[in-house]
Structure 1
Amino acid sequence: MLWVKAFHVIFVISWFAGLCYLPRIFVNLAMEQDGAAYQRLLLMSGKLLRFMSPLSILAVAFGIWTWWFYSFASGPGWHWIHAKLLLVVFLVGYHHVCMRLHKNFVAGRNTKSHTWYRWFNEIPVVLLAGIVILVIVKPF
């Protein structure tokens, strides 16, 4: 079981690296008007998304495997896991929003400012903090 947990953590860390970097690319895309730099940033964001998506699936799959091993973690003292799973659902939603935003950039339909993307970039950090606190502290 320790191998499963180790792979879960590895894939989560890798996925988060992409979730934190992709919106930074969006910041730069929102500041660029057009041209070679814009195309290069689109290429980077597309490749990063193609790299991140399998990592997200593996992170969730190993997380479910861990959850399954602990018999779906129910009963006294396991309420923290339900809060964690809710944050993971938000995280998966954030990933899907990133995919939609990338498609808007590719189609030339971005309507958001670089400032908006700077704030948007903070969401995975807040989710990460909440998930780590729930897993380590287990407050309820």
Structure 2
Amino acid sequence: MPLDYGSVLYDAIKTLHVLSIITWMAALFYLPRLFVYHAMEEVGSATSERFKVMERKLQRGIMTPSMILVFVTGFLLFPTWMTDGWMHAKVLLVFGMAAMHGFYARWRRAFAEDRNTRDHVFYRWMNEVPTVLLLVIIPLVIFKPF
């Protein structure tokens, strides 16, 4: 049963969706930035150990719960727009964002287990992927081109 567009419940879910997107994106921007600095530290150093704690708390406390809320609220809102082509494109790009989330989680585990083999330059580039995806998603949502 789709929600009534414009109802209080619809607006509340949409508000939670937008807030969840903001917190998820903040974490997706920040975690790889931590990786950049972490990759420049000596394994086992006090700073490296501090980064491990920061990365774990960011991923488990903010990034993953936010992503779950994005998908739950998005799923609740999706029937309203499901026939629109722009929404299909947006959903595909959001799955790309979720894939980056998965890569970040894998790389965080590698850091946690002192198995990171990538340098800071790699993480600087990977830090840009969510930005590029967002630069496509936002105009799709605003302009609804197809």
TM-score scaled by structure 2? 0.90
1:121 to partner: Cα distance:
0.1
Aligned pair count reads: 135
Match of residue 112, structure 1, among 92, 114, 118: 118
Take 1:55 and 1:33, find their aligned partners in 2: how far apart are those partners? Answer: 31
Structure 1 residue runs without a partner (length 5+): none
Structure 2 residue runs without a partner (length 5+): 1-9
Q: How does 1:46-125 map to 2 (within 5 A)?
A: 46-51=56-61, 52-68=63-79, 70=80, 73-74=82-83, 78-125=84-131
1:83 to partner: Cα distance:
0.4
Take 1:131 and 1:94, find their aligned partners in 2: how far apart are those partners? Answer: 15
Take 1:88 and 1:99, find their aligned partners in 2: how far apart are those partners? Answer: 16
- Equivalent residue, structure 1, for 2:18: 9
The 4+ residue runs of structure 1 with deviation greater than 4 A are none
Take 1:73 and 1:138, find their aligned partners in 2: how far apart are those partners? Answer: 12
Identity of aligned residues (%): 42
TM-score scaled by structure 1? 0.93
RMSD, aligned α-carbons: 0.9
Instruction: Give the aligned residue type for 2:143.
Output: V
Q: Is the partner of 1:33 in helix, strand or coil?
A: coil
Q: How does 1:21-40 map to 2 (within 5 A)?
A: 21-34=30-43, 35-40=45-50
1:111 to partner: Cα distance:
1.1
Instruction: Give the aligned residue type for 1:33.
Output: E
Match of residue 141, structure 2, among 105, 128, 135: 135
